[in-house]
Structure 1
Amino acid sequence: MLYSDKAPEPVGAYPHAKKVGNLLFLSGVGPRKKGSKEIPGVTLDAEGNIAAYNIEEQCHAVFENVRLILEASGSRWENLVDITVFLTNMKDDFATFNKIYATYFKANQPCRTTVEVNALPTPIAIELKCIATLE
């Protein structure tokens, strides 16, 4: 089991990643900031519900968190082979996500599945589940 000291802490009893053979499996990664409950691009109301969010900011933050976990685990961005994307609002966010995603994956294009979910464990609009190879 692997943990990154730079990525946000898991919100449950699971590691950031796990090595199996020459593969690295990342647990679901969101856009939260390490050491706080801050979520880039999210405004919460008094009850802790999402009042407004910026999917662009969340996309950049989640990609950065994935990169931090990959590097801490002995892999790298270019080694990603499969990504499952969970969006809470496919209708409004998919085009923006897809545009940003394309800027991060010019040379390496992993397989990808994108699904809409009703909610995620914290007040976020995106989460990634990734598989990468190890060096």
Structure 2
Amino acid sequence: MGKAIHTNHAPNALGPYSQAIQAGDFIYISGQIGINPETGAIEEGIEKQTKQVMANLKAILTEADADFANVVKFTIYVASIDDFATVNEIYGSYLSEPYPARATIEVSGLPKGARIEMDAIVYTAD
């Protein structure tokens, strides 16, 4: 097993998992939903949830001495594919080329009624 990564600047895990695990040169960040770590509440609306998800991911990356440029793969889960354009615009504003690989999947439900969840794979050897 790798080394657990935890920050108080992102929400605590909702179950028996770590915010992230470092295994060699890779970091695997668990799915993040739009929970504000200061209030413990989920943000309202797809825009605010997406921005909070990105802030949570950034906090975990920072704790791991990495940033979005180190992410090689995102998986985005949305409760409605109708939110794709909004999510894509906000998500893209945090990134620069070369963009990471990505999959976007519509799902029937997410924890706490979230409208979006993202996980990430990070490469740190460069």
Q: Which residue of 1 aligns with 2:96?
A: 106
Q: How many pairs align?
A: 122
Displacement of 1:7 in angstroms is 0.6
The match for 2:46 among 45, 55, 80 is 55
Displacement of 1:110 in angstroms is 0.5
Q: Which whole-Å CA distance do the structure 2 matches of 1:23 and 1:36 have between them?
A: 30
Q: Which whole-Å CA distance do the structure 2 matches of 1:117 and 1:39 have between them?
A: 18
Q: Which whole-Å CA distance do the structure 2 matches of 1:22 and 1:125 have between them?
A: 31
Displacement of 1:35 in angstroms is 4.7
1:78-122: CA deviation from partner (whole Å, max 9, x where unpaired)? 1011000000011x2011111222212233410000001101121
TM norm structure 2: 0.90
Q: Which whole-Å CA distance do the structure 1 matches of 2:94 and 2:38 have between them?
A: 25
Q: Which residue of 2 aligns with 1:67?
A: 58
Q: Which residue of 2 aligns with 1:47?
A: none
Aligned CA-pair RMSD: 1.3
Q: Which whole-Å CA distance do the structure 2 matches of 1:57 and 1:35 have between them?
A: 15
Give percent identity, aligned residues only.
31
Q: What secondary structure does 2:112 align onto?
A: coil
Q: Which residue of 1 aligns with 2:29?
A: 26
Q: What secondary structure does 1:58 align onto?
A: helix
Q: Which residue of 1 aligns with 2:8?
A: 5
Q: Which residue of 2 aligns with 1:44?
A: none
Runs of 4+ in 1 over 6 A off after TM superposition: none
Larger Rg: 1
Give the conservation status (yes or no) of the 8 Å contact 1:31–1:124.
yes
Q: Which whole-Å CA distance do the structure 2 matches of 1:108 and 1:65 have between them?
A: 22
Partner letter of residue 107 of structure 2? V
Q: Which whole-Å CA distance do the structure 2 matches of 1:104 and 1:34 have between them?
A: 20
Tell me, which stretches of 5 or more residues in structure 2 are unaligned? none
Partner letter of residue 76 of structure 1? D
Tell me, which stretches of 5 or more residues in structure 1 are unaligned? 42-53
Give the conservation status (yes or no) of the 8 Å contact 1:9–1:35.
no
Q: Which whole-Å CA distance do the structure 1 matches of 2:5 and 2:93 have between them?
A: 28
Give the conservation status (yes or no) of the 8 Å contact 1:81–1:132.
yes
